[in-house]
Structure 1
Amino acid sequence: MRARLLTSGAAEGPVLSLDEPLSFWGAFEPRTGVILDVHHPQRGSCVKDTVLVMKETRGSGSAPGAIAEAIRLGTAPVAIVLAEPDINLAVGAEVAATLYGRRCVVACVSAAELERLRGARRVAIAADGAVMVD
């Protein structure tokens, strides 16, 4: 499988698959990495050091600041894999890489490939976009 990388870098970690989109502004706590949204099915889950898999995000232009802050604090996922690209997350991740030297890979795959990732235990994303599933 090959992902379209929206940011540079490589990452590996356990999969956290979300049933619903997540907003990184207000539904997620950057200081802890915990999902706060009372309506989200995975409320209470921690995204820290995971490969976060979800179809799309929910949010606004404030998402770059929230994800950049989580990356700075070390509470962000190591990678976010989406079926629908999100330029806001990519911008936030690249800003964090530039300012803080920390990365969160943001990548896109097809809807069918996303379903395959949902069932994985671990995922590794190489710098060239190659995706290895365990």
Structure 2
Amino acid sequence: MDYNELIKALSDKGLKVTPQRVAVLEALYEIKNHPSAEEIRQKLHSRYPSIAIGTIYNILDTFCEQGIIKKVKTDSDFVRYDVDMERHHHIYCENCNHIENYHDPELDELLKNYFEKKRIPNFHIHDFNLQIIGRYVEHQNKLNQNK
């Protein structure tokens, strides 16, 4: 996403365009891999050495509230951020804490159909996503070798 697209993404949501907001959004797109607030701070440190982690969290919360990004929690409640707003699920490696997007329209349709037929009492579903937890093959192979 280029600079003008970043500015447009903010202004389309009615947000004031500030250098810090643009920088945080740019970092989210550059890092891509579901960064944490601390990883974003590290990425921005050379250009914005005085930006506080609290400022970054506030910006990220605003972006979440406005539907620009989503929060993704790991199994250990570690919060990361996702700029991919299309329907998708997450693959989470419990060995290295890596989170990867998993797009599967067939799975989406299966879940949609399931919840249309099988209602949850006193609960209205407006969205769903899965976090698929496991280990990458190379991590599993190392574990098996150490046994």
| TM value normalised by structure 2 | 0.28
Compare the two structures and name the one with the higher strand fraction. Answer: 1
Pair member with larger Rg: 2
| Greater relative contact order (Cα < 8 A, sep 6+) | 1
